[in-house]
């Protein structure tokens, strides 16, 4: 299968040649990305009907092999699609960045690594590409709007730590099971504590890549300093695809978690907490990119929740949500990036009323907002609905299911609420005077966001016919039942309740604000923005509720940030090591040195150079020898 090599090498070759021959960069990059897309489509079609598996090299019991089934084909296709669209968008969006040259090589490297991850049929082989992705992520984050070195360092530490954890898990699997092939037959049941530990360690790596809590904090951090296209590419689409891909692979192809309730509950709890906590943080953000980045975290919760149910429809829903999320989240980041490109700001209180100026961007952004909030008939609705179905069916196994259901619904409510705020503050409301000259974004930037928005609609309206039966169902090793539309009433009601509640939260936010009135202030003229309702403050009343205020303060202060704890613990240990242990050791050595030199000093005292002293010693020695000889 030569396509496998093409898929891994073509983007990299295109990127490298583009880096070397700067004059032809765009053309060479285009060739690289376009050919990859072409082969990805062919590959996708081929993967529908056959399973390909072959070994590259094999030594020391490690089988470096490729494995391709329909799940592989699906992820490969979307990797290539996203990379191509992001490349198109970046042509204009990143063109003013001084490090533009290096930006594309990292985009290409990330695509190569992502394809490699998906194609590899062995977890150790996968780890290689997984590491390569860290490398490209680091480089990509360094190409920032402003100094992004701290964000890059934070990302590389968090991802690096989770990679090491995952490496330990994979090695444990490899050592005990004899190989780390993927899929593994027979699948490993989670009965012994060794394998449970191994599964959990690999799982940590997978959900950290997807951006689930508590290993998410690099995403909001970098959202402030890197271009929107970087955010749309890595955390919003590629990382979701890869993390959830790996989670599915290890949960149902290598291990078998359907037999182990505690593990599934663990996954679902992680999912539920992620949904609620991240969306709560998103609600009070005052900056576009940061707000979106918290949603990028929050949505992972649904996927993890769906996959954790162990119910076919839930798993399918989780995978479908992964796909949908990648589509609408990339669309959101890209359109928000277009707004930033034209207005040069991401602060919500400086934006507003851009709807008439940027109608296509508004359209794309609005569609994607509705999709992420789960409004029918868009794609986000169907995947969420399938996840709900999964949770309800999960009710047969555990009584905890209402909690997950409430978390999922509540998350949906808050998502809708926060997107109403976002749409309002970007496109509706008063337009600040500074933005009067804003035009629609450039063609290259509008096209990708528009395409993605259309995909949201297509995947929604024809959910069953196009994505589900062609993309999702063939990719999981189960038969999915119970997809009759609208029949399970509970899930549908919950979705509608979610939408209504979201609107109520929105009303609640606006109702607490005074409406605009004519104000008389002694003849002074006020700017419109000084008297209008600004979107960013919709939910500041929420922020100020006593109960939540403390939590928000903690959250903004970094209390939920794994990075802070890691660095804190490590620095604490380092202080103990350096200032206690090392100091004591040095003290001991110095003490020994002192004792020896003291001894030397004592002996040198005896040699004072006076004759009678030495004569005395000679006599003393003679007496001792005599005594020994006599007795």
Partner 1 sequence: MIGFDFFVDKFGIFLTILFGFIGLMSFIYGLATMREKGHRLEYYLMLLLLVGSGIGIALTYNLLLMFIFWEISTFAIWRAVAYYRADQDLSAGDLSFILNFGAATIMLLGLLMIYLDNGTFNIFQIRVINNTAAIFVLIGILTKSVTVPLHIWLAPAYRTVPSAIGGCLAGIGENLGVIVFMRLFVTGTFFSASFFNTVAWIAIASSIIAGGIALRSDNLRNLLAFSTISQIGFILLAFAVGGTFGVVGGMLYILAHALAKSGLFYGVGIVEDSTGSDNLKNISCLLRASPTLAVAMAFLVGSIVGFFPMIGFFSKLNVIIGAVEHSAVFGAGAIIAAVFTLLYSTRFYHELFFGDKCESKKIKFKRPSYTGITVVFILALVSLLCGIFFYKPMSFLLAGGM
For the chain, helix, strand, coil in percent to 5 are: 75, 5, 20
The b-or-e profile of 533-564 (16+ CB within 10 A means b, else e) is bbbbbbbeebeeeeeeeebbeebeeeebbbbe
> Does residue 245 interact with partner 1 by CB under 8 A?
no
DSSP 3-state of 205: helix
Nearer to partner 1, 59 or 486 (CB): 59
Minimum gap (Å) between residue 199 Cβ and partner 1? 14
Nearer to partner 1, 243 or 390 (CB): 243
Write the DSSP assignment of 574-608 as a string of letters: HHIIIIIIIHHHHHHHHHHHHHHHHHHHHHHHH--
> Does residue 595 interact with partner 1 by CB under 8 A?
no
Please state whether the peptide bond connecting residue 183 to the residue before it is cis, i.e. omega within 30 degrees of 0.
yes
Among 40, 107, 118, 156, binds partner 1 (CB under 8 A): 156
Minimum gap (Å) between residue 76 Cβ and partner 1? 20
> Does residue 13 interact with partner 1 by CB under 8 A?
no
CA-CA distance, 561 to 603, in Å (whole number)?
A: 62
CA-CA distance, 581 to 326, in Å (whole number)?
A: 49
Q: Which stretch binds partner 1 (CB under 8 A): 25-33, 54-62, 459-467, 522-530?
A: 54-62
DSSP one-letter code for 486:
T
Nearer to partner 1, 91 or 156 (CB): 156
Among 16, 35, 46, 161, binds partner 1 (CB under 8 A): 161
CA-CA distance, 301 to 278, in Å (whole number)?
A: 9
Minimum gap (Å) between residue 536 Cβ and partner 1? 28
Nearer to partner 1, 14 or 448 (CB): 14
> Does residue 576 interact with partner 1 by CB under 8 A?
yes
Question: Among candidates 188, 295, 329, which has minimal Cα distance to 250?
Answer: 188
Nearer to partner 1, 13 or 171 (CB): 171
Among 5, 164, 485, 554, binds partner 1 (CB under 8 A): 164
Give the contact letters, 369-408, x = binds to partner 1 (CB under 8 A), - = no. ----------------------------------------
Question: Among candidates 288, 299, 302, which has minimal Cα distance to 328?
Answer: 299
Nearer to partner 1, 402 or 572 (CB): 572
> Does residue 600 interact with partner 1 by CB under 8 A?
no
Nearer to partner 1, 167 or 368 (CB): 167
CA-CA distance, 31 to 562, in Å (whole number)?
A: 40
Among 20, 51, 175, 559, binds partner 1 (CB under 8 A): 175
Nearer to partner 1, 9 or 46 (CB): 9
> Does residue 563 interact with partner 1 by CB under 8 A?
no
Give the contact letters, 474-513, x = binds to partner 1 (CB under 8 A), - = no. ----------------------------------------
DSSP one-letter code for 428:
S
Place of tokens 């990339």: 330
Query: Strand pairing partners for 160?
Result: none
Minimum gap (Å) between residue 165 Cβ and partner 1? 7
Q: Encoding tokens for residue 147?
A: 């100094």
> Does residue 197 interact with partner 1 by CB under 8 A?
yes
Among 26, 50, 356, 582, binds partner 1 (CB under 8 A): 582
Strands 255-256 vs 188-189: parallel, antiparallel or unpaired: parallel
Contact 162, 205 (CB under 8 A): yes
- Angle of CA points 483, 485, 486, to nearest 5°: 125
Among 575, 615, 620, 623, binds partner 1 (CB under 8 A): 575
Nearer to partner 1, 200 or 466 (CB): 200
Q: Encoding tokens for residue 397?
A: 């196994």
Minimum gap (Å) between residue 461 Cβ and partner 1? 42
**For helices 401-427 and 261-283, angle between their N-to-C axes, nearest 10 degrees:** 30
Question: Among candidates 102, 131, 110, 101, which has minimal Cα distance to 33?
Answer: 110
Q: Encoding tokens for residue 506?
A: 């929105």
Dihedral sign from CA coordinates of 62, 68, 71, 74: positive
CA-CA distance, 143 to 138, in Å (whole number)?
A: 9
Nearer to partner 1, 208 or 315 (CB): 208
Nearer to partner 1, 128 or 269 (CB): 128
- Angle of CA points 222, 105, 72, to nearest 5°: 85
> Does residue 451 interact with partner 1 by CB under 8 A?
no
Among 42, 48, 145, 153, binds partner 1 (CB under 8 A): 153
Nearer to partner 1, 219 or 441 (CB): 219
Contact 324, 380 (CB under 8 A): yes
Q: Which stretch binds partner 1 (CB under 8 A): 160-168, 202-210, 397-405, 473-481?
A: 160-168
Positions in 177-196 near partner 1 (CB under 8 A): 194
Among 4, 75, 108, 127, binds partner 1 (CB under 8 A): 127
Please state whether the peptide bond connecting residue 214 to the residue before it is cis, i.e. omega within 30 degrees of 0.
yes
Strands 52-59 vs 62-68: parallel, antiparallel or unpaired: antiparallel
Contact 474, 360 (CB under 8 A): no
Nearer to partner 1, 69 or 163 (CB): 163
CA-CA distance, 167 to 165, in Å (whole number)?
A: 5
> Does residue 282 interact with partner 1 by CB under 8 A?
no
Minimum gap (Å) between residue 106 Cβ and partner 1? 13
Residue 270's Cβ-side half-sphere holds a number of Cα atoms within 13 Å equal to 26
Q: Which stretch binds partner 1 (CB under 8 A): 161-169, 378-386, 496-504, 600-608?
A: 161-169
> Does residue 564 interact with partner 1 by CB under 8 A?
no
**How many residues contact partner 1, by CB under 8 A?**
46
DSSP 3-state of 527: coil
> Does residue 419 interact with partner 1 by CB under 8 A?
no
Sites of contact with partner 1 (CB under 8 A): 57, 59-60, 124, 127-132, 134-135, 147, 149-150, 153, 156-157, 160-161, 164-165, 167-168, 171-172, 174-175, 194, 197, 566-567, 570-571, 573-579, 581-582, 585-586, 589
């Amino acid at each position: 299968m030569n396509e496998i090599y093409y898929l891994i090498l073509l983007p990299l070759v295109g990127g490298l040649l583009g880096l070397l021959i700067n004059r032809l960069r765009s053309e060479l990059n285009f060739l690289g990305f376009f050919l990859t897309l072409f082969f990805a489509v062919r590959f996708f079609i081929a993967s529908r009907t056959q399973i390909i598996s072959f070994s590259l090299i094999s030594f020391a019991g490690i089988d470096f092999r490729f494995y391709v089934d329909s799940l592989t084909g699906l992820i490969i296709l979307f990797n290539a699609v996203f990379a191509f669209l992001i490349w198109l968008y970046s042509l204009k969006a990143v063109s003013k960045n001084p490090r533009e040259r290096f930006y594309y090589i990292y985009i290409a490297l990330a695509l190569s690594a992502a394809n490699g991850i998906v194609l590899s049929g062995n977890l150790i082989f996968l780890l290689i590409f997984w590491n390569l992705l860290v490398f490209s992520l680091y480089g990509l984050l360094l190409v920032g709007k402003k100094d992004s070195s701290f964000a890059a360092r934070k990302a590389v530490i968090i991802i690096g730590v989770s990679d090491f954890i995952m490496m330990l898990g994979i090695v444990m699997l490899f050592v005990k099971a004899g190989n780390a092939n993927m899929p593994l037959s027979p699948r490993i049941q989670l009965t012994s504590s060794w394998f449970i530990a191994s599964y959990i360690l690999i799982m940590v790596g997978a959900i950290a890549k997807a951006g689930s809590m508590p290993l998410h904090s690099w995403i909001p951090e970098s959202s402030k300093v890197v271009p929107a296209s970087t955010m749309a590419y890595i955390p919003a689409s590629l990382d979701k695809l890869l993390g959830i891909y790996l989670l599915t692979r290890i949960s149902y192809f290598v291990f078998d978690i359907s037999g182990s309730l505690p593990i599934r509950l663990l996954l679902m709890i992680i999912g539920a907490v992620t949904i609620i906590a991240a969306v709560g943080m998103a609600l009070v953000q005052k900056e576009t990119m940061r707000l979106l980045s918290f949603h990028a975290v929050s949505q992972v919760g649904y996927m993890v929740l769906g996959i954790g149910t162990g119910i076919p429809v839930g798993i399918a829903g989780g995978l479908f949500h992964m796909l949908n999320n990648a589509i609408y989240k990339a669309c959101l980041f890209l359109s928000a990036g277009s707004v930033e490109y034209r207005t040069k700001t991401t602060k919500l209180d400086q934006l507003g009323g851009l709807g008439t100026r940027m109608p296509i961007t508004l359209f794309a952004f609005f569609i994607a907002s509705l999709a992420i909030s789960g409004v029918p008939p868009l794609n986000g609705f169907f995947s969420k609905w399938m996840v709900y179905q999964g949770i309800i069916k999960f009710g047969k196994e555990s009584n905890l299911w209402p909690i997950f259901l409430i978390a999922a619904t509540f998350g949906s409510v808050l998502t809708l609420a926060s997107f109403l705020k976002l749409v309002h503050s970007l496109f509706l409301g008063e337009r600040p005077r500074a933005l009067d000259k804003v035009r629609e974004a450039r063609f290259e930037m509008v096209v990708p966001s528009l395409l993605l928005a259309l995909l949201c609609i297509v995947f929604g309206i024809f959910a069953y016919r196009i994505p589900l039966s062609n993309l999702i169902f063939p990719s999981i090793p189960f038969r999915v039942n119970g997809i009759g539309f609208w029949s399970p009433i509970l899930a549908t009601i919950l979705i509608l309740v979610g939408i209504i509640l979201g609107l109520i939260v929105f009303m609640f936010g606006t109702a607490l604000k005074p409406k605009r009135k004519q104000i008389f202030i002694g003849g002074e003229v006020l700017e419109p923005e000084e008297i209008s309702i600004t979107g960013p403050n919709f939910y500041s009343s929420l922020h100020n509720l006593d109960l939540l205020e403390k939590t928000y303060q903690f959250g903004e202060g970094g209390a939920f940030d794994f990075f802070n704890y890691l660095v804190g613990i490590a620095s604490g240990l380092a202080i103990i090591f350096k200032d206690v242990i090392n100091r004591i050791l040095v003290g001991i050595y110095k003490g020994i040195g002192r004792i020896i030199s003291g001894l030397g000093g004592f002996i040198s005292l005896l040699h004072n150079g006076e004759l009678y002293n030495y004569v005395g010693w000679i006599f003393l020695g003679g007496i001792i020898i005599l005594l020994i000889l006599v007795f």
